[in-house]
Amino acid sequence: MEAYRDQYAQLFRGGRDIVLLAVSTDSPEAQQSWARDADFPFLFASDPGSEVGKRYGAWRESRGGVIDNRTVFVIDSEGVIRWVAAPFREIDPTAYEELGQAIARTAPVENSSDD
C-alpha cells in the first residue's frame, strides 16, 4: 500500500478521474488507524466475511485453507473489469508499469484546451 501511496500522483493521477479502493478483511477500525498513520490518500473498504474477495477471485486454496491473494483490478466507469493482476507482484517495478498502462487504456486522459 505504501508503493501505491508513493506513486499515487503519477500512477493514479492524484485521484483525478480514478478511484483507488483497497479492500481487505481487516476491521474498519484497523484500516482507519493504518490509513491515518501511513497518510494514505485513497479509500479503504472492509470485507470481514471475505465475500467481495471470494466473488472476484481474490482468494486461492492453500494447504491451510483459503488465503488472500493480492489481486489488482482495473474497472472502467461502467463497472466492467478491464484488467486483472492475480496475484499482483508488488515488489516487481514492472508490475506498476503494467498497472499504469492498464489505467491509461481504461481511463485515458482527456485533452482540455482553453480555446
Per-residue pLDDT 10s for the chain (115 aa) are 888 888 888 888 888 888 888 888 889 999 899 888 999 888 888 888 888 888 888 876 666 655 667 788 888 888 888 988 888 888 898 998 999 999 999 888 765 554 4
Whole-model pTM?
0.75
Domains and CATH numbers, the chain: 2-106 (3.40.30.10)
**Plot region of 79 (φ>0 → left; ψ -120 to 50 → alpha; else → beta):** left
C-alpha cell at 77: 466507469
**Strand, coil or helix: 79:** coil
